[in-house]
Structure formats: structure tokens, C-alpha cells
Amino acid sequence: MIFKLAACAALVSLAVIPVKGVDHQVTVGGTGIIAYNPNQVTAAAGDTVTFTFMQKNHTATQSTLQNPCQPVAGGFDSGFIPVADTTTTGFPNAVFTVEDTTPVWVFCRQANHCQQGMVFAINPGSNFAAFQAAATGNSTASTSATSAPAASSTAYPGSTTPTSSSPQVHQVVVGGTDKLFYTPSNITAAAGDVIMFQFQQKNHTITQSSFATPCRELTLTSTSGQVGFDSGFMPVAANATTFPTWNLTVNDTSPIWAYCRQAGHCGSGMVFSVNSVESGPNNFAAFQAAAEQQNGSTTATSSASSSSGTTKSKASGASMIQINRGAGIAVALVGVVVGSML
């Protein structure tokens, strides 16, 4: 009898041992390659999908079947992960955990990559061809490295009206050795102009926020469903001599507010604006003062790590996507799989 009870107990204990899911390997980009390989997988709940980022600068960003080239609010996003052409080992990767068999749609946010068919899906069924076709024929998708800031298409009251007849490229330096600021930190730009952010030493972002909450992502605070732009973290070594860039196309003359998501940087005044109305109360100095006063204390989730640390966060109902940037350095982002929005 004792033997039978022991045997039953052993069987019960074996029954509750979790079964490890399958890990699906996906290569992102590479020299002369603008694609995910493979471009789709069939996965079960508990499986993982490991995105290995090869040469150039790509993302794995969640979208929808209806809008392949636009980030879905609350969806996961690896952020831009630049890989040098000379890299041969230690490629960074992002690991996504599959929660159920609901289709998950993914694209690369780099300029025009989605429109060239750089999309991926988990459990797409028979809809992948339609998803990719919609991406390559999507005329409303952003042609910059991110979705453009949501704003009206008319001139903002009180704003200046630039007179340039052709688009201008504005270069902004992000950070640098012992520099926690954007140079310049406040610019005036016309509709159609391009802002080229050059990331220098340390690990920074350019992330859209709002005047009221300078140190929080617009995507998290918007009451109208706006999806703000975000470069993702751009780690740059102290001895680097070449620097990654990230472009943003200006849609109109409405003010744009942005900040660095790195821990403590926004509270130190590392903020940026486009077309702020300097003659009114919502000017750049007031925006920066609000950032320093709030000190990032209203941030809903901890920011990603610097190039020498690790931060992990997990929101209720969200799946974890972990970014490993080589040399054992990991950054964890939160990605919510919203089945009703697919």
C-alpha cells in the first residue's frame, strides 16, 4: 500500500513538472538582407521566439493585420538594435514568449523596410501573404524610422511659419562624453523637414512625450490613442568614432516634445522640443523645468538599462520580451499581446 501511494505521489509530481516550450530561431536582417528568416512560425503557448539581429539597424515591432507598418498601442517593440558591418560574433537578440495561439504580427520600423516586405508573423494561418501584400502596398505607413508624431495638419496657433521651399535636414547630437543633453535642444522645423538624431557616447533615446508629462511616453499617457515615436536605446561605446543616426520626419508645425528614457536623464533636463511657442507659457524652458521637477517620478515602468546594467519589468497581462545586446547584457521590455486588436 505504501509503495502504491508513493508511486501515485511520484506520478502526480511528474504531472505538474512544466514542459519547456520550443524555441523558434529567427534571423533579423544581415548584410544586404531586408527580411526576417523565416518570415513566419507556428508556435504553441509557452514557446519562445528568439530574434537574432544581424548587420544594420532593425527592430521587431508588433503591428496588426490591417495596418502592418504601424505600431500597435501597447504592443511589444525591441527598439532599434544597431549592429556594425564588422560584427561576426555576439549578435544581440530579443526573446519573445508566446502566450497563446492568437496571431501576432510584426514589422521592422526602419525607414521603408516594412514597405519592402520586412514583416513577420506568429501563427498567421493562411493570412501571411495578405499581411505582407498590405505592407508592400501600404501608402499610409510612415517612411521615416518611426511613426510620425500625431498632430493636426494645419499650422499651430502662435507657432512660427518656416519659409523654406524645400525640406531641410536638422542634425541633433544626442549625448556624448559627460553630456546629458541634446545639441541643440530646441529647434524650429517646417512640415516635411527631417530631424537626424546622431547618438554619441553612453546609451540614450529620443522618445515622444507631452508638455504636461515630460518624462513619460506619449503612448502611455495619451487619452486619444496616440502612438508616440521612440528610437529605442542606442548604446555607443566610449571609444566609438562612428555614430548611429535615427531620422524623424516632421508632419506639421505643432509642437513636439521629447525626452531621453534612460534612468534619471529626463530628470536631469535631457529633453528636446520642436516648434515650441516661446512667446507663450508652453515654452522650452517651462518644459525642461517641469521635467526636472517631476524627475521622472511619474514614470509607469522603469527605463531600460544602460550599457552596463540590466533592468527587467513585467506588467499585468503582458509578456516579456528580453533584449540581449551581447556580452551578457540584457534589457527587458514589456510587450502586451492584444488579441482584440489583431
**What is the reported pLDDT for 6?**
52
**What is the reported pLDDT for 143?**
33
In this predicted structure, the answer to whether residue 314 has a pLDDT above a threshold of 70 is no
The answer to whether 325 and 235 are in contact (CB under 8 A) is: yes
The full length of the chain comes to: 342
∠ at Cα 163 (157, 165), nearest 5°? Answer: 130
For residue 251, how far is the Cα from the chain centroid?
20
Res. 124 pLDDT band, cuts 50 70 90: very high
Quote the mean pLDDT of the chain.
77
**What is the reported pLDDT for 123?**
95
**What is the reported pLDDT for 303?**
36
In this predicted structure, the answer to whether residue 140 has a pLDDT above a threshold of 60 is no
In this predicted structure, the answer to whether residue 277 has a pLDDT above a threshold of 70 is yes
Residue 91 corresponds to which cell in the numbers above? 549578435
Find the helix or strand (DSSP H, E) in which 132 lies.
helix 128-136
The answer to whether 31 and 38 are in contact (CB under 8 A) is: no
Q: Of the segments 81-85, 95-99, 238-242, 266-270, which one has the largest average pLDDT value?
A: 266-270
In this predicted structure, the answer to whether residue 198 has a pLDDT above a threshold of 60 is yes
- Kindly state the greatest CA–CA separation across the chain: 92
Residue 266 corresponds to which cell in the numbers above? 529626463
Res. 76 pLDDT band, cuts 50 70 90: confident
Query: Taking the CB of residue 21, how many other CB atoms lie within 10 A of it?
Result: 14
pLDDT in tens, 203-224: 999 999 999 999 999 888 888 8
**What is the reported pLDDT for 138?**
42
The answer to whether 190 and 162 are in contact (CB under 8 A) is: yes
Count of alpha carbons within 13 angstroms of residue 157, beta-carbon side: 1
Mean pLDDT over residues 314-335, rounded?
Answer: 42
**What is the reported pLDDT for 1?**
54
In this predicted structure, the answer to whether residue 177 has a pLDDT above a threshold of 60 is yes
Buried b vs exposed e over 118-156: b needs ≥16 C-beta within 10 Å? bbbbbbbeebbeebbebbeebeebbebbbbbbbbeeeeb
* Between 117 and 322, the higher pLDDT residue: 117
| Strand-pair partners of 230 | 207
Pairing of strands 40-41, 119-122: parallel
In this predicted structure, the answer to whether residue 2 has a pLDDT above a threshold of 80 is no
Query: Which of 12-26, 40-54, 318-332 is least confident?
Result: 318-332
Mean pLDDT over residues 178-206, rounded?
Answer: 93
Res. 285 pLDDT band, cuts 50 70 90: very high
Give the three-state DSSP class for 188: coil
Residue 132: closest CA among 55, 34, 48, 247: 34
Q: Which amino acid is at 261?
A: R
In this predicted structure, the answer to whether residue 149 has a pLDDT above a threshold of 90 is no
Residue 193: closest CA among 158, 240, 160: 160
In order of their start, the domains of the chain are 19-140+309-341 (2.60.40.420), 169-294 (2.60.40.420)
- Give start and end residues of each alpha helix (H) in 205-276: 218-221
pTM given for the model:
0.47
The answer to whether 311 and 299 are in contact (CB under 8 A) is: no
**What is the reported pLDDT for 9?**
52
Query: Which of 162-171, 236-245, 254-263 is least confident?
Result: 162-171
Residue 327: closest CA among 8, 89, 54: 89
Mean pLDDT over residues 261-274, rounded?
Answer: 94
Res. 337 pLDDT band, cuts 50 70 90: very low
